[in-house]
Structure 1
């Protein structure tokens, strides 16, 4: 069998907590397996699925902190799903950033956007793309209705 997934390295003590939070908030997510050895310096390996994509967490002592150079890009269906994820990250100790970015309490960065934005950004109409992105530049948490309004106005 051939398989490829992203492995996220983090402090052993935070690994299980991160996996539980992420899988509880994102749609189509699950905690798939936990492999833990008994020694205090032994790693924990966690297989999980976030929004239908498989990941692995390597939790071990003295791991480097994550940076914005690598982030999660989570597309959700609507404002309710966006708010559920966003509010859950904030309630757990996350930090709200600009332009659809949020930093979770484990130091990982997320871009949480609605389908209407990804459709506009990757569509062929440059006016729609520009209008959608300009709305997001003025926000922290994306306001789906504002993006929809900008997209409709750009379509004329």
Structure 2
């Protein structure tokens, strides 16, 4: 068991959020759903209190605790993708039904949780020792919402990028 795991605060959507997340990632599952006890002042015993789940083996807990605190971009999950097809699949699934695109590969899902959908190629192109090429790739990324690997590669190579994925 890990000593440190993410703990997410939701108003009342912990269970549907966990169900979405485990449906998207391999090696993921809901491990426990706990309900509020009989004497909980703000909930009925039927209300879900916490949902424990694993995202690709990472234990996560989601809490339904009302609107006192909100999720923000100060916390996000990074999805390390291998290619445009994987970027597109996660991007589409997480922005569906009210999710919001941001910039540079960031988005918020319909529950308000922030995600970074990051292809390994982005990291490779922006951290290479050729600082000029890395800078061109980085500038191309700054104009994107969903990462377009082909457009970043074009900028990296000194060509004019044709951003097609935004």
Could you state the TM-score of these two structures normalised by the residue count of structure 1? 0.81
Q: What is residue 78 of structure 1 aligned with on the other side?
A: 83
**Any unmatched runs of 5+ in structure 1?**
none
Does the Cα contact within 8 Å between 2:31 and 2:54 map onto a contact in 1? no
Task: For 2:58 and 2:156, locate their aligned partners in 1 and report how far apart those are by CA, in whole Å.
Answer: 28
Q: What is residue 163 of structure 2 aligned with on the other side?
A: none
Q: Which has the larger radius of gyration?
A: 2
Task: For 1:126 and 1:51, locate their aligned partners in 2 and report how far apart those are by CA, in whole Å.
Answer: 34
Task: For 1:3 and 1:124, locate their aligned partners in 2 and report how far apart those are by CA, in whole Å.
Answer: 36
Q: CA RMSD in A?
A: 2.4
- Whether 2:92 is the aligned partner of 1:94: answer no
Deviates more, 1:125-134 or 1:65-74: 125-134
Q: What is residue 37 of structure 1 aligned with on the other side?
A: 35
- Whether 2:7 is the aligned partner of 1:16: answer no
* Cα-to-partner distance string for 1:20-68 (whole Å, 9 max, x where unaligned): 112222x334123123225435662222233443322122233411111
Aligned pairs for 1:3-152 within 5 A: 3-11=3-11, 13-25=12-24, 27-39=25-37, 40=43, 44-152=49-157
Does the Cα contact within 8 Å between 2:96 and 2:110 map onto a contact in 1? no
Secondary structure, aligned partner of 2:98:
coil
1:2 is displaced (CA, Å) by 5.1
Does the Cα contact within 8 Å between 1:23 and 1:31 map onto a contact in 2? yes
**Any unmatched runs of 5+ in structure 2?**
38-42, 160-166
Q: 1:126 to 1:103 in 2, by over 3 A?
A: same
Could you state the TM-score of these two structures normalised by the residue count of structure 2? 0.77
Tell me the matched-pair count: 152
By percentage of residues, which structure has more helix?
1
